[in-house]
Amino acid sequence: MSDEPQGAAIAGAGTAKPVVVGEGADDFVPRYFEPARVRVYRSPLGSARMDLTDEVCYSRVGFRQIMPLSDPDHYISVWVADDAEIGIIRDPSELDAESQKVVAEELDVRYFTPEIIEIHEVKERFGVHEWDVTTSRGRVTFSVRGLHQNVKQVPPARLIVTDVRENRYDIPDSRKLDPTSFQHIERHL
């Protein structure tokens, strides 16, 4: 126990200066790129490059959706290799046609997520569920371990299924599946 009056240990608390975002060494303030200054294209070896007019050329960049489920077409984060974010493109549709094409191709590779159209069968063996489905890319079978961890429910009825190889499959609205497919979901979830 201390002999100090209660609150004395916080002396000077009323004189603290407010923290201003962006002024501290560890603060990160996002940089939003102006679409007119951005040019994204392919290098001779096929990797994505990005030029910022009158500033810099990044020889290898990657793109990530900041809000992949709620707003996948806006707020695209730009990364140098996989190391550090260098900025954000608010709306890729405001870029020139070639830049839009390269950004879309890069996102398609990163977020390859076929849509499940029909579920033929789901079998459980030793805690692993084997799915036999038809997707927007054809018929496929895959394994899911731990349904509650690897089937994410996004209200109202969207499901994102992640298999043991970390591939993702999308069911945009489970209520719109045929009755047999819906029964497979109901039975296992």
User: What pLDDT is stored for residue 109 in this prediction?
Assistant: 86
User: What pLDDT is stored for residue 27 in this prediction?
Assistant: 63
Asked if residue 38 has pLDDT above 90, the reply is: yes
Query: Does residue 116 contact residue 161 with C-beta atoms inside 8 Å?
Result: yes
pLDDT for 76-132, tens place per residue? Answer: 999 997 678 999 999 999 999 999 999 999 998 888 889 999 999 999 999 899 999
Q: Which two structure tokens, joined as six digits, stand for 126?
A: 């030793």
Provide the pairing of β-strand 116-125 with 38-42: unpaired
pLDDT for 118-168, tens place per residue? Answer: 999 999 999 899 999 999 999 999 999 998 899 999 889 999 999 999 899
Task: Tell me the C-alpha to C-alpha distance, in Å, between residue 85 and each of 35, 63, 77, 152, 161.
Answer: 17, 9, 7, 27, 27
For the question of whether the overall pTM of this predicted structure is more than 0.85, the answer is no
d(CA 177, CA 158): 11
Q: Which residues are bridge partners to 38 per DSSP?
A: 52
Query: Does residue 177 contact residue 171 with C-beta atoms inside 8 Å?
Result: yes
Question: What percentage of the chain reaches a pLDDT higher than 90?
Answer: 70
